[in-house]
């Protein structure tokens, strides 16, 4: 078995061979912190979280860098609109991003650099481009000269004239070509500024990622990732900057996740189909959202619907119930070695360009098989198969601590019944059972059932869960 990755640069699946045996260096473009993260961000975040986890599952030592863009036109506008500093805006939304990430169960990257903390590296990179004749000054601004970089457009698979014809680029008569882009922007009133050889100003967007990725991972590194909307111009420009400055590739494998629509339409606040991560997680479990996104291949465009997310939630419920049932069955035994054949089958699916839909199908087939063995009270191999199932789920981030308790909390927020009322009804039912008043015990069970609560009598007492 060997991992194959679809490389956007070659438009083909390629055998993954890291630059250093046993190590992977990966950079993924993060969010611009001017607003709350939405479910489109969630798809990208969860896509690369799964890739990160799976590379670790394969035994690689992974250096994973995901940046914050904390200086940008949108940030400046938001700060000016609210009458606060840019630092206040970025601080607020970085903190919120971390809360969202924790809720989603994201594994933390090894580094999370911020653009404003790397101004020195950015300035040095621009100086190198200028010294090589790849950049030019215009009244305090510095632009990259696109037509001086041989190979511009190779990531998008287009030539310069095709890109010029199809690009939506703000007209600036000072530029030598419409495709030329800003490396450094001269200061304007109400904007954050830093000193530079070209005067006070701030960096352009694209140069930030080139400087940060090279600082933390060197050049070249193994994997560069992001949403397909970043392929052009952002990633194309990163290649031009980094390769222009150093004369060697930036990254060997380029991975892009497909974009998200909502009920067949582009997500937009004006259409009322714009959902933040926080809004979705108020009524749905994060593991359900993870399962929902993994149900489509990461490169495919995907349509979001609350109905599909609800179905994913029901599937996750069944999976966690099976895992808990199997865990209780094998708990007294020594820790088992996972079933090798199952893990090999899982790897075959995931090694095919991180094919999560097929990996999920395998996981749910095994959950059904494990349930049958538990129903038939056939303990042979249950421990090894459970260990394999748990390992596969962990590799995809499907094992969440406190899954059932979080589900209870979301249900209780609906106000149908309180935790105290459930406790009192269970106590009354236990009293009826001691008195052998079976009709009353059954009536209370049905009352709870009507309120969305299922109860189960165990050796340790009666437990309840959301149906």
Tokens 């799976």 correspond to 54
Are residues 40 and 262 in contact, defined by beta-carbon separation less than 8 angstroms? no
Q: Are residue 388 and residue 420 in the same domain, yes or no?
A: no
Report the C-alpha gap between 102 and 145 in whole angstroms.
41
Residue 149 lies in a domain: yes
- Is 379 among the domain residues? yes
Q: Do 255 and 320 fall within a single domain?
A: no
Residue 274 lies in a domain: no
The string of pLDDT tens digits covering residues 333-352 is: 556 788 999 999 999 999 99
So what's the pLDDT on residue 241? Answer: 97
Q: What pLDDT shows up at residue 169?
A: 54
CB of 144 closer than 8 Å to CB of 134: yes
Answer with the one of 368, 396, 424 that is the final residue of a domain.
396
- Examine the domain organization and report whether 380 and 447 are in the same domain: no
Asked if residue 48 lies in contact with residue 225, where contact means CB atoms within 8 angstroms, the answer is yes
pLDDT at 413: 72
Does 448 share its domain with 362?
Answer: no
Give the pLDDT of residue 155.
96
* Residue-range definition of the domain harbouring residue 60: 4-262
> Is residue 39 in some structural domain?
yes
Q: Is residue 277 part of a domain?
A: no
Alpha-helix residue ranges (DSSP H) falling in 302-381: 306-330, 340-350, 356-375
Classify residue 410: in a domain, yes or no: no
Domain-embedded: residue 445: yes
Co-location of 125 and 202 in the same domain: yes
Same domain? 238 vs 340: no
Q: Is the peptide bond before 431 cis (omega within 30 degrees of 0)?
A: no
Looking up residue 118, the CATH number of its domain turns out to be 3.40.50.620
Q: State how many domains the chain has.
A: 3
Locate all alpha helices (DSSP H) within 83-167, ordered by sequence: 86-104, 119-131, 160-166
Q: Looking at 229, 262, 295, which one is the last position of a domain?
A: 262
Q: Which stretches in the chain have pLDDT values below 50?
A: none
Task: State the pLDDT at residue 428.
Answer: 85
Q: CB under 8 Å to 99, separation ≥6 — which residues? A: none
128/249 same-domain check: yes
The whole-number pLDDT of residue 216 equals 98
> Residue 316 is part of a domain; what is its CATH number?
1.20.120.640
One domain for residues 78 and 219: yes
Q: Is residue 281 part of a domain?
A: no
Q: Are residues 244 and 315 in the same domain?
A: no
Residues 182, 323, single domain; the answer is no
Q: Are residues 230 and 376 in the same domain?
A: no
**Distance from C-alpha of 342 to C-alpha of 362, rounded to nearest angstrom:** 9
For residues 359 and 213, state if they share a domain. Answer: no
Of 235, 262, 289, the position where a domain reaches its end is 262
């Amino acid at each position: 078995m060997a991992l194959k990755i679809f490389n956007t640069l070659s438009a083909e699946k390629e055998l993954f061979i890291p630059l250093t045996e046993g190590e992977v260096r990966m950079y993924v473009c993060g969010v611009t912190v001017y607003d709350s993260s939405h479910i489109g961000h969630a798809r990208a975040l969860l896509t690369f979280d799964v890739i990160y986890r799976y590379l670790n599952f394969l035994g690689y030592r992974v250096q994973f860098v995901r940046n914050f863009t904390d200086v940008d036109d949108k940030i400046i506008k938001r700060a000016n609109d609210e009458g606060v500093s840019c630092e206040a805006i970025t601080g607020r939304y970085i903190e919120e991003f971390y809360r969202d990430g924790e809720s989603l169960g994201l594994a933390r990257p090894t580094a999370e650099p911020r653009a404003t903390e790397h101004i020195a590296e950015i300035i040095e990179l621009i100086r190198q481009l200028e010294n090589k004749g790849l950049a030019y000054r215009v009244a305090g601004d510095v632009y990259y000269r696109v037509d001086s970089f041989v190979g511009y457009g190779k990531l998008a698979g287009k030539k310069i004239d095709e890109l010029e014809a199809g690009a939506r680029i703000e007209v600036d008569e000072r530029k030598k070509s419409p495709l030329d882009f800003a490396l450094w922007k001269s200061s304007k009133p109400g904007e954050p500024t830093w000193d530079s050889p070209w005067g006070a100003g701030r960096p352009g967007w694209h140069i930030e990622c080139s400087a940060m990725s090279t600082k933390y991972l060197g050049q070249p590194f193994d994997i560069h990732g992001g949403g397909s909307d970043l392929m052009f111009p952002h990633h194309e420009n990163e290649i031009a900057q980094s390769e222009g400055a150093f004369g060697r590739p930036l990254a060997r494998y380029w991975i892009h996740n497909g974009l998200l629509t909502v009920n067949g339409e582009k997500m937009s606040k004006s259409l009322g189909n714009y959902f933040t991560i926080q809004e979705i997680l108020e009524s749905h479990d994060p593991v359900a959202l993870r399962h929902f996104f993994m149900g489509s291949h990461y490169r495919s465009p995907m349509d979001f619907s609350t109905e599909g997310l609800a179905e994913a939630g029901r599937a996750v419920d069944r999976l966690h119930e099976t895992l808990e049932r199997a865990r209780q069955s094998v708990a007294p035994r020594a820790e088992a070695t996972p079933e090798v054949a199952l893990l090999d089958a899982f790897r075959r699916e995931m090694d095919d360009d991180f094919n999560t839909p097929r990996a999920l199908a395998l996981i749910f087939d095994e959950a059904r098989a494990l349930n049958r063995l538990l129903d038939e009270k056939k303990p042979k191999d249950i421990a090894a198969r459970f260990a394999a199932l748990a390992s596969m789920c962990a590799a995809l981030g499907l094992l969440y601590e406190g899954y059932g308790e979080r589900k209870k909390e979301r249900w209780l927020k609906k106000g149908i019944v309180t935790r105290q009322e459930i406790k009192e009804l269970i106590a009354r039912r236990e009293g009826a059972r001691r008195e052998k008043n079976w009709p009353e015990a059954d009536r209370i069970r049905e009352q709870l059932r009507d309120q969305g609560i299922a109860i189960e009598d165990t050796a340790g007492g009666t437990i309840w869960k959301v149906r």
